[in-house]
Amino acid sequence: MSSSAAAADDPPDLICHLDSIHGMVDALTSVRWKRHQDAVLELSEHGIVVIVEESGCLQAKVYLKRELFLVYEYAAEGRPRFGMSLDLFVDGLNIFSALGPATVVEIRYPGPDMELILKTVDFPNGSLYAAIRTRILDTISWDYNFEPTGNVPISFTVKSALLKEAIEDLEWPGSSIQIVLQPDPPCVTFKGDGHGELQIDFPYYASTDLLIAFQCSRQVAYWYKYKFLRATTSNIPAGVLKDNRGSKLTIGRGGMLKIQHLVSVGRPGVPHPYGDNVGQPSRIAYIEFYVKAEEEQEDAPINDS
């Protein structure tokens, strides 16, 4: 038997079924900050990780745990990684979502020519099939090397809608935004370079509608490129903003900024095999952005020691 014929008889690395295509599109669109983006997909027994990055300064990860899928059959050894067009992946899923909310899509990898296969499952009016070409990675993703600054992480949580609005209000082409945390009184400040004295304050004790949580024991301040910071909120799904959810921001060693969003992937009221003990599935996609700080910090630099 030829090697190609033998390979054809091997089970695919992954077969999974998804019943909330719209939720998946929301999660992937969250990290789609420009057209013609490429992504890296990493498969494992625990789920799928989608990685998008730019210029070694901005990286985003979408964690799609196996619990998000109706079926998740994993047969690969190790963790296969491959590249593909994020645009084609999102646009392909959008085509399937147009078939109706009850549509179930099978995701299979690899296909006969190492493609990522999308197709309908038990669709009453025939079937829809799509194959997205994948490619071998030329380089590996940069190491974001996020390390906490001490025993107590420096972090705060703000409503996602307010975070998006604050960053957009400080827009200035080619500029930077400074994020300042001070412990006494607890407050987070966003300052825009190029706007003179314009800044936005989030005092912790003023209202729980501003800061949901705050954790900082000393003043810290870092500058970040506006275009990279804006990318972390520019495509937050409308449902997340409407639900008034919170986004958590953590500053690590060297000013590395981690921003975490939660996106619901699931249809309300629909039974799911991974539901909890009250019958409601825990189907949340975790979105993480990592933004490197600019090298110059003259105002209250963080003490990494």
Confidence at residue 281, expressed as pLDDT on a 0 to 100 scale: 47
Q: Is there a single domain that holds both residue 171 and residue 113? A: no
**Residue 150: which pLDDT band, with cuts at 50, 70 and 90?**
confident
Confidence at residue 9, expressed as pLDDT on a 0 to 100 scale: 65
Q: How far apart are CA 87 and CA 25, in angstroms?
A: 11
Taking the alpha carbons of 72, 30, 127, 101 in that order, is the dihedral positive or negative? Answer: positive
Confidence at residue 238, expressed as pLDDT on a 0 to 100 scale: 84
What average pLDDT score do residues 128-156 get?
A: 80
Nearest to 153 by CA among 189, 181, 177: 181
Q: Is there a single domain that holds both residue 127 and residue 160? A: no
What average pLDDT score do residues 120-137 get?
A: 86
Is residue 288 predicted with pLDDT exceeding 90? yes
Most confident listed range (77-81, 192-196, 197-201) = 77-81
pTM: 0.86
Q: Which of 97, 132, 167 is where one domain is finished?
A: 132
| Adjacent-strand bridge partners of 177 | 192, 224
What average pLDDT score do residues 121-147 get?
A: 78
* 219 vs 124, higher pLDDT: 219
Q: How far apart are CA 134 and CA 27, in angstroms?
A: 20
Q: Which residue carries 């690590």 as its tokens? A: 252
Polymer length of the chain = 305
Buried b / exposed e over 160-193, threshold 16 CB at 10 Å, is bbbbbebbeebeeeeebbbbbbbeeebbbebbbb
Strands (DSSP E) contained in the chain are 14-18, 38-44, 47-54, 58-65, 71-74, 81-85, 105-109, 116-120, 129-132, 154-159, 176-183, 186-192, 199-203, 211-215, 220-225, 246-251, 257-264, 284-291
Say how many C-beta atoms besides its own lie within 10 A of residue 108's C-beta. Answer: 18
pLDDT, tens only, 2-23: 344 445 567 899 999 999 899 9
* 118 vs 101, higher pLDDT: 118
Q: Which residue carries 């990494």 as its tokens? A: 304
Q: Is there a single domain that holds both residue 225 and residue 194? A: yes
pLDDT, tens only, 212-225: 899 999 999 999 99
Number of domains in the chain: 2
What value does the mean pLDDT of the chain take?
84
Is residue 72 predicted with pLDDT exceeding 60? yes
CATH number at 259 reads 3.70.10.10
Is residue 270 predicted with pLDDT exceeding 60? no
What average pLDDT score do residues 129-133 get?
A: 93
Q: Is there a single domain that holds both residue 126 and residue 173? A: no
Q: Is there a single domain that holds both residue 158 and residue 92? A: no
**Residue 267: which pLDDT band, with cuts at 50, 70 and 90?**
low
Confidence at residue 271, expressed as pLDDT on a 0 to 100 scale: 54
Asked which of 67-71, 122-126, 129-133 is least confident by mean pLDDT, the reply is 122-126
CATH number at 80 reads 3.10.150.10
Residue-number span of the structural domain to which 162 is assigned: 154-291
Q: Is there a single domain that holds both residue 49 and residue 105? A: yes
